[in-house]
Chain A
Amino acid sequence: MDKVQDFLKAHAEDDIVHRSILDEASRKFNRPPGFIEEAALKANLLPARYQRNRNTLSIEQQLALFKARVAVIGCGGLGGYVIEELARLGVGTIVAVDPDHFEEHNLNRQILCTLETLGQLKAAAATERVQKINPAITVGAIPQALRSDNAALILNSCDVVVDALDSIPVRIELARVCAELAIPLVHGAIAGWFGQIAIQLPGEQTVLDLLERCGDKKGIEKEVGNPAFAPAFVAALQTAEVCKIIVNRNSSMKGRILFIDLLEMHFEEFHFE
């Protein structure tokens, strides 16, 4: 890594390294793009793609994001936007979990669903999209439904889990497993003009408590659907929480739930004991 870092430092402009230099280092030292990006950040150099993150995130925090592993459970409306934002933020490893293929009725809101990806596995489309944004990012595509018998294996060694599911019983199972494994969980859900977000840090069961009375109920989204703006909005809130959990090991959403009403533009906050 020393030789790689010496090369990057020699070709940096102040502390910025441009993509052409990172690519050249990858070829010259026969190392994958992820190795080169991490080497740059460890040398206190900022890949040029992250210049507009500066002063919001330090290089040290950018490195923490790059070393992080985030699982996104569900790659549809919420999950697609979350994956897009995690990739651009600079999260180094994304585990994309979804058993479904894209269908025509996904086109109204799911950013990974295009005419080209119709019929494709959502998890595979997530990989393709992230590689187009940044080949230094590793995507683990898992085209399986999350179940009690595979959840621990899928979530193993993840720093944060994003609940972008579309089934309340599976959300409850995910919250239970995250509590057991002491992995931070960022919950988001949408229906029509409405949405909600909450987080569950290790030692807490906030999301389990929130959903405890939902049981096996169907959500109101079965009645009111999901328009384009609801997943984009709630996914942005979820990604902001993931970012804070990774760089600060904490979250300002601790013990709170936020309900979002995009029709009246009301945001209501409630608390868990």
Chain B
Amino acid sequence: MHIKINLFATLRKDRFDTDQREYPAGTTVLDALNDLAISESEAAIIFVNGKHAGPDHVMLDNDTLSIFPPIGGG
């Protein structure tokens, strides 16, 4: 299935801003993180199709996955 991936802030370093990837049916967010070599702790905030999601979320064809690192500065 076809998944669009958006990375934000420091997650873009040595990777990409946005990319399209093909994954087998039943792929979870965690599977995609492993493919992208992003640890669960780096992927602090996750959205699928603009809605808040967790690592166990099972993605569907043509989903958009957006991944953010933790931001805590004041």
A binds B: yes
> Closest Cβ of chain A: how far from B53's Cβ, in Å?
10
Determine the residue in chain A with the shortest Cβ distance to B68.
A259
Q: Is B58 an interface residue (CB 8 A)?
A: no
Residue of B6, B8, B66, B71 with highest tally of chain A CB at under 10 A: B71
- Complex interface: chain B residues within 8 A of A188 (CB): 74
Instruction: Please tell me if the beta carbons of A220 and B52 are within 8 angstroms of each other in the complex.
Output: no
B residues contacting the other copy or chain, number (CB 8 A): 24
Instruction: Please tell me if the beta carbons of B71 and A76 are within 8 angstroms of each other in the complex.
Output: no
Q: Is B23 an interface residue (CB 8 A)?
A: no
- Complex interface: chain B residues within 8 A of A196 (CB): 68, 71
Instruction: Please tell me if the beta carbons of B73 and A191 are within 8 angstroms of each other in the complex.
Output: yes
Instruction: Please tell me if the beta carbons of A192 and B50 are within 8 angstroms of each other in the complex.
Output: no
Q: B1-30, CB under 8 A of A: which get 1 and which 0?
A: 000001011100000010000000000000
Instruction: Please tell me if the beta carbons of B74 and A214 are within 8 angstroms of each other in the complex.
Output: no
Query: When chains A and B are docked, how far (Å) is the Cα of A168 from the Cα of B47?
Result: 19
Contacts of A158-208 to chain B: CB distance below 8 A? 164-168, 171, 188-196
Instruction: Please tell me if the beta carbons of B72 and A167 are within 8 angstroms of each other in the complex.
Output: yes
> Closest Cβ of chain B: how far from A187's Cβ, in Å?
10
Contacts of B36-74 to chain A: CB distance below 8 A? 40-41, 43-47, 50-52, 54, 66, 68-74
Instruction: Please tell me if the beta carbons of B47 and A190 are within 8 angstroms of each other in the complex.
Output: no
- Complex interface: chain A residues within 8 A of B54 (CB): 213
- Complex interface: chain A residues within 8 A of B71 (CB): 189-191, 194-196, 219-221
Q: Quick one: given A165-B74, A219-B72, A220-B70, are A271 and B8 in contact (CB under 8 Å)?
A: no
Query: When chains A and B are docked, how far (Å) is the Cα of A269 from the Cα of B8?
Result: 13
> Closest Cβ of chain B: how far from A64's Cβ, in Å?
27
> Closest Cβ of chain B: how far from A166's Cβ, in Å?
4
- Complex interface: chain B residues within 8 A of A76 (CB): 74
A residues contacting the other copy or chain, number (CB 8 A): 44
- Complex interface: chain A residues within 8 A of B72 (CB): 165-168, 171, 189, 191, 214, 217-219, 221
Instruction: Please tell me if the beta carbons of B44 and A213 are within 8 angstroms of each other in the complex.
Output: yes
Determine the residue in chain A with the shortest Cβ distance to B48.
A270
Query: When chains A and B are docked, how far (Å) is the Cα of A259 from the Cα of B47?
Result: 12
Q: Is A92 an interface residue (CB 8 A)?
A: no
Q: Quick one: given A164-B74, A259-B8, A271-B52, are A220 and B47 in contact (CB under 8 Å)?
A: no
**Partner-binding segment picked from A17-25, A30-38, A137-145, A223-231:** A223-231
> Closest Cβ of chain B: how far from A170's Cβ, in Å?
9
Instruction: Please tell me if the beta carbons of B66 and A268 are within 8 angstroms of each other in the complex.
Output: yes
Q: Is A209 an interface residue (CB 8 A)?
A: yes
Instruction: Please tell me if the beta carbons of A271 and B70 are within 8 angstroms of each other in the complex.
Output: no
> Closest Cβ of chain B: how far from A219's Cβ, in Å?
3
Query: When chains A and B are docked, how far (Å) is the Cα of A221 from the Cα of B50?
Result: 24
> Closest Cβ of chain A: how far from B67's Cβ, in Å?
11
> Closest Cβ of chain B: how far from A82's Cβ, in Å?
10
Contact among B8, B40, B43, B51 for A273, CB-based, below 8 A: B51
Given contacts A189-B71, A213-B44, A271-B52, 9 further A-B contacts (CB under 8 A): A171-B72, A190-B71, A218-B72, A219-B69, A219-B73, A221-B73, A231-B74, A259-B68, A268-B6
- In order of increasing CB-CB distance, the 3 nearest A-B pairs are A219-B72, A221-B73, A166-B74
